[in-house]
Structure 1
Amino acid sequence: MKLKNIKWSTIKLMFVSHVFGKTAAAIYKSYVYNCNTKNFLKAGEHITLVKPLYLIPQRIELGSYTRIQPNVKIIASKNQKVIIKKFSAIGAGSTIIPGNHTPTVSIPQFLSYLYINDVNHTLIVGEDVWVGANSTLLSKGSIGRGAVVAANAVVSKEIPPYAVVGGIPAKIIAVRFSIDQILEHEASLYPPEERFDRDYLEKLFKEKYSELKTLGTSIITPKEIQQLTLEKSKYRIEDYSNL
């Protein structure tokens, strides 16, 4: 790669490694390089990255208003990718692995870094998702919009929108909001063309959430509304509820 095509932050990382050694470079990477949104494949606005982080930014896309808490690990090889969409947060100590290996005759696990017969995926964390602390998302564990992953869960399959999941392996244990609450919630966060409609939600609830309890609430005090409005204004989060 020509020097002129290398980002300045990458040059600094190479310099630290060359002058101070691999240990210093690893510390610099987890506390500085990995917390710079300019190093990611794509990054929106108002992103919070809490150091240290153990990941490869060039294989990660971050939407606007996303947050990654400390000690998160994202382990992705060259043909794998993680997309975290807007409004979502990844809890401290969580691990995301968008691929895996196919056992292959003559290849010991020690040489898995050769990426022969890797199974490559793009793991997507949808909009407005909360991934609880110390959770693990495995290769097919994409998370639907608005879902909640309980702390310490292991997700190995796709999770539908607004599900609340927990356990090892993760199972649906509740639904975040009722249909009416989802419609109200989405009317605030998303422009009309991005929202789920009632027909889709009714079908989703019939197939996935029959007889499950709802965890969310619509109750919020006037003082809390004022605080929320101020915070949304500070981050320039548009409210679409009047459209």
Structure 2
Amino acid sequence: MWGFGGRYYWGRRERVGRVEGIVVAFAWMSSQERHLKRYVDMYSSLGWNSLVCHSEFLNMFFPDKAASLAFEILKVLVEELKIKRCPIVFASFSGGPKACMYKVLQIIEGYHEPRRYSLDDYQVVRDCIAGYIYDSSPVDFTSDLGTRFLLHPTVLKASQPPRIVSWAAHSIASGLDTLFLNRFESHRAEYWQTLYASVSMKAPYLILCSEEDDLAPYQTIFNFAQRLEDLGRDVKLIKWNGSPHGIFCIFQSNIELLSQSC
């Protein structure tokens, strides 16, 4: 969680029988494989394969590290689509968009020099994108995000952080602020511009959020959804009450909800 890069794996990978497509799940930073199992099982029950990506926390502050992981994710997708093309849905949780997904979007739009594969290969991935799911995201990228994230109960698994943990988190955040003082706004602008530019792929959006979320405030997510609609895309925004950040929506398959929003 605390380093660079990340890891990825197939939650389900079937090539025979019922295969509707691939869900690429960009998980929240404190998540482990067992936390994503319920989503993998849910997608599997509907015939969807799933590729799960766990990003490290510092990817949010070092775009080149997020890009390196994004290239790895695309390598897997390119090879899979060479066997058989199918719809792809990007499902992002919490800080997942900033830690990896937005770099995937930039690469397939040609904003990065290709690695190993050609732009035509990445174009195939782009052409297969069938929808986006944002669950308790996107989280805004601000200079105090590090402290708020590191000390959040859903990350620490405790209602109150130990004093030493609080001190360490503030020290880390202070160091990041000093290092990136002149970069935060440019990184933030690039991040949001990339998310909005994804409307060019003409896929629908499903956005799930809570009015009680302090890391991904409802107003931020509402403004994001409104802007996507203003840009001409189909957006389904679902909000609920009484759930803090990290209590993700599992009451109904979000793949089913996405299909209803088309």
Normalised by the size of structure 2, how large is the TM-score?
A: 0.27
Relative contact order, higher structure (CA 8 A, sep 6+): 2
The TM-score normalised by the length of structure 1 is: 0.28
